Amino acid sequence: MNRHAIDAGPREMDLSRFDPLPRVMFYDDFNQGMSGWTVLTGNYTGSLRNMHPGYRQFTPPMLSNLTQWDGGTHGGLSGSYALKLATRPDVGAQTVSLKRLTFPRACTMQVEAYLTFKPEATELELSDRDVRSFGFVLDIQTKQHRVLPQIRYLNAIDGALANKWQYKPRTTVFNDVGDRTVTLYHYGEENWVDIPGGYQTLCYNEIPTKINWHYFRLGFDIRTLRYTELQCNDLVLDLSGLEMLKFDAMPNLNNLFNVIPFVETDSRKRAFLYFDSILLSGDW
């Protein structure tokens, strides 16, 4: 789909709030259903007990109409439903979702979304320090390399506000879980680095049942294995000089391209990450 050839129907009007590259890979409006988003199950061989404990905590995504105890049903940015990621209620608990793809051509890919984040509203308090972070991972493999570009918005840590964007440039250790299977838990707290110019205070309304939607955009060039840009609302950051997790190519993963959002809690409340819609586009 070309951005200059959009008709004026309702679905195309929704697309006009994005800024896609010339080829739209997918556009998921969660009023239409789950659209292939699923839980990330960690690698294992023979038994689920062999799974890395980090992956065991992950919960499946769900469709939500954002019902609040004080105000009733909120709904999405446009329509009744959003995709919801919810952590477990433990300090540092994380969850992710993903959509499993392959890329048809090495090019610049760009993911855009309208999202919001909140802790579970279990107290009559602001609770703006209860969500630790949210972010995105792109899991990509070319003929030579597998790369994991990974960024997050660190909202708060250990009860203190941080309000900054970070990236993860260094590798972590692979663990064997069978004769031919390895696992890598790269979502932990280690090795995060601040993105230059990445301080940003996001809108967080006065009570924990109020939400405001945010625009998000992240680009990556598969040809050069470099980030392009990160945008959240009116903040635009050039990421082209940043490093990322990078390994030799693995068997059976040719042209891998997975899109993986995640969220983490900093308190004993569940952290929620909602998506009204997500769009992936490319430039070939």
Structural domains of the chain sorted by starting position, each given as residue range(s) with its CATH number in brackets: 23-266+277-282 (2.60.120)
Q: Compute the distance between CA of residue 37 and CA of residue 66 in angstroms, rounded to an integer.
A: 18
- Quote the percentage of the chain above a pLDDT of 70: 88
Q: What is the pTM of this model?
A: 0.91
CA angle (170, 171, 176) in 5-degree steps: 170
DSSP H or E run through 53 = helix 53-56
pLDDT at 176 over 80: no
Predicted local distance difference test score (pLDDT) of residue 4: 44
Query: What Å distances lie between residue 184 and 59, 77, 120, 150, 212, CA to CA?
Result: 18, 35, 29, 14, 34
pLDDT at 41 over 80: no
DSSP 8-state secondary structure symbol assigned to residue 280: E
pLDDT band for position 177 (cuts 50, 70, 90): low
